[in-house]
Amino acid sequence: MNNSQPTILLVDDEKAVLSSLTRCLVRLGVNLVDFSCPQQALEYATDNRPDLVISDQRMPRMQGSEMLIQIKALWPDVQCIILSGYSDMESFSDALNRRIIDRFISKPWDNNELRMIASAALREQGLFGFSSEKMSQSQATDFHGMLSTNPAMYRLFERITKSARANIPIFISGETGTGKELVARACHAESPRKSQPFIAINCANFNEHLIESQLFGHKKGAFTGATAEHQGLFAAAQQGTLFLDEVTTLPLPLQAKLLRVIQEREFSPVGSHQTYPFAAQLLTASSTTLADAVERGQFREDLYYRLNVIPLKLPPLRDRGADMVMMAEHFLQVFARREQRRFKGFSDDAKLFLRQYPWPGNVRQLENLTHSIVVLTDQPVVDKSTLQSALEGDISRSQPEPPGVPAIDSQQSDYMPGQVRPLWLVEKSSIEEAIAFCDGNVPRAAALLEVSPSTIYRKQKHW
């Protein structure tokens, strides 16, 4: 046991559950001590102070909440997490209200969520604090669901930890698919507001009138179709975090209203003159930089300065070195378990291919590609040819061709001159050409095509 690392005490009467918890949490780099008997766990805790206890609720002879009450009496500052089904909540609601139990996670749990909550609980005690100086490229870190061995990502994690403490606007930039919402969720989890709501919305999915109603809410009769009062996200966020993705797609009139909300920390629902306080932290993001949007006249310069107080930039996957292979292996095992398949890993030529491929769709492309391989491939070792075959069906692989050189779509090439192509294929070709012309900027491509960005995103999911 490494005495310099935090200790997590795991208690569950089922050995299989303890094994699953161990496999999930071992990647945090902590000491794990497990017991299938709560009485034995209590004996251990009498002489050894754990930093975190994760326990099942329903166990023979002693419920988890009863054991945690006794552990809290011994070590009042120890964080305690209960694992149970919602049907058991009544049995430990009193301990939850008395703050004996700090967090509740329902079964079956999500591994990423469990790791995120466990690491946050340790950081809350001043343990497991993130410092990029302590990390090296040989160490893989799972920071709130973001996996990396890259120093640039370590510096980003450290910046998130520091910036999340203050209630000031944070702007997250990065290419499509890099994980901007994961960064926003990490900011929330690292902040004093983590027990409050986290609300995320993609502004590109709504037209001007709908997004205003979504954000500000509206009164009954405020406009045609407003048959009932609607609470907006500014109110629903309470004292938590509100994340506005693709904020550069907001119409200019709505940008002026958002600016006032930030300046005055108050808002008025549509159709009302009454103001309400806005207490949440505001996080925003875009796949294009705010400065570029300002230069194109699509974004207010004064709002730019208000939102860009703390900038957080996600590097593209192609710049993250060994992360491509490490994340591909992680996704392979995750999806193999989900689909009940067995894979040994990637061959050496496949790993080299993963490192050299530019990944225009970033982490999302790598994740989706790995999932398709798990579903469609029978061989236990994924080789280079398997990756190449999988990419043939991946539309995000396409790179803009040099000016004057038309891109050749394999689906289009099946049709000879004079033949009528299906309408969906003509539409697909036009949309992809517009996206390539706009250097991957979907909202800008949507403006040129005179459709909403949500229309493009929806169609891409069906291709």
CATH code of the domain in which 433 resides: 1.10.10
Contact criterion met (CB below 8 Å) for 234 and 177: no
Name the band, by pLDDT with cuts 50, 70 and 90, for residue 245: very high
Tell me what percent of the chain is helix, strand and coil, each rounded to the nearest 5: 50, 15, 35
Q: Does residue 72 belong to any structural domain of this protein?
A: yes
- Number of domains comprising the chain: 4
Rounded CA-CA distance 374/261 in Å is 47
**Is residue 406 in some structural domain?**
no
> What predicted TM-score, i.e. pTM, was given to this entire model?
0.61
Segment 47-101, tens digit of pLDDT: 899 999 999 988 988 999 899 999 988 988 888 998 886 556 666 777 776 778 8
| CA trace torsion 293, 295, 300, 302 (10° rounding) | 120
Residue with tokens 């303890």: 18
In this structure, is residue 218 part of a structural domain? yes
Q: Are residues 284 and 432 in the same domain?
A: no
Q: What percent of the chain has pLDDT over 70?
A: 85
Low-confidence winner among 102-111, 385-394, 397-406 (lowest mean pLDDT): 397-406
Give the model's confidence band at 432: pLDDT under 50 very low, under 70 low, under 90 confident, else very high. confident
User: Given 279, 313, 347, which residue is the final one in a domain?
Assistant: 313
Asked which of 313, 332, 356 is the last residue of a domain, the reply is 313
Indicate if 324 and 306 belong to the same structural domain.
Answer: no
Do 175 and 102 sit in the same domain of this protein? no
Residue where a domain stops, chosen among 60, 93, 128: 128
Q: Which residues contact 326 (CB under 8 A, 6 or more apart)?
A: 140, 147, 148, 149
In terms of residue numbers, what domain contains 172?
147-313
CB 175 within 8 A of CB 362: yes
Give me the percent of the chain exceeding a pLDDT of 90: 45
Could you tell me if residue 415 is inside a domain?
no
Residue 112 tokens read as 């990423």
